[in-house]
Amino acid sequence: MPDEANRLATPHVAAGVLFRDEAGRVLVVKPTYKDGWDVPGGYVEIGESPRAAAIREVREELGVDWQVGELLLVDWAPHPNEGDKLLFLFRGHVSPEQVRESLKLHPGEIAAARFAEDRELPQLMPERLSRRLAQALRSSASAQYLEHAVSPTLDH
């Protein structure tokens, strides 16, 4: 029988951001290191909160400093090749003026970025991701997100 430490889950944790433009389209990015499109985001580093990781990843991938807001959902999403995963999806806040500013895509990570209609998402990305986004897009409620028992502010 395995000891207690070997029975505890040690999932990889990732955080992404759902940005929509004034027409309601979703910002998607085309990573250079995997197939399909995704939302901006990535893995959480040691000592980093999921929200801080989302803010950092948006800055690194897109070269912009857009607001990362409330938590939309957390998905327990084990992957057959990558093991246990906890995926956090936050709502992004962006103005039409910010959308029009030039994105500065990280050339080693992001090949392209664009806004896509909700109906396009299942064709652009893996099924598990399009299902996750569909859930977030259908929900008007946000989940409660705390860091050290305190709700973080929108001003990073």
In the chain, where are the structural domains located? 9-138
Tell me which DSSP letter residue 151 carries.
P
How many whole angstroms separate alpha carbon 41 and alpha carbon 59? 10
88 band by pLDDT with thresholds 50, 70 and 90: very high
How many whole angstroms separate alpha carbon 35 and alpha carbon 143? 30
Q: How much is the mean pLDDT over the chain?
A: 89
Q: What average pLDDT does the segment 74-85 reach?
A: 88
- For the chain, give the percent of residues with pLDDT over 70: 93
Question: What 3 state SS string does 40-79 have?
Answer: CEEECCCCCCHHHHHHHHHHHHHCCCCEEEEEEEEEECCE
Note the pLDDT of residue 65. Answer: 92
Q: What average pLDDT does the segment 140-152 reach?
A: 73
What lies within 8 Å, CB to CB, of 81 at 6+ separation is none
User: Facing residues of 75 across strands?
Assistant: 87
Locus of tokens 């990843």: 57
Nearest 5°: the CA angle 48, 53, 58 is 160
pLDDT tens track for 15-68: 999 999 999 999 999 999 999 999 999 999 999 999 999 999 999 999 999 999
What lies within 8 Å, CB to CB, of 122 at 6+ separation is 130
How many whole angstroms separate alpha carbon 40 and alpha carbon 133? 12
145 band by pLDDT with thresholds 50, 70 and 90: confident
How many whole angstroms separate alpha carbon 58 and alpha carbon 37? 15
How many whole angstroms separate alpha carbon 63 and alpha carbon 59? 5
How many whole angstroms separate alpha carbon 1 and alpha carbon 10? 18
Locus of tokens 């992004």: 92
Note the pLDDT of residue 101. Answer: 75
Note the pLDDT of residue 7. Answer: 82
122 band by pLDDT with thresholds 50, 70 and 90: very high
Residue 70 has pLDDT above 70, yes or no: yes
Q: Structurally, what CATH architecture does the domain formed by 9-138 represent? A: Alpha-Beta Complex (3.90)
Note the pLDDT of residue 155. Answer: 54
Note the pLDDT of residue 154. Answer: 58
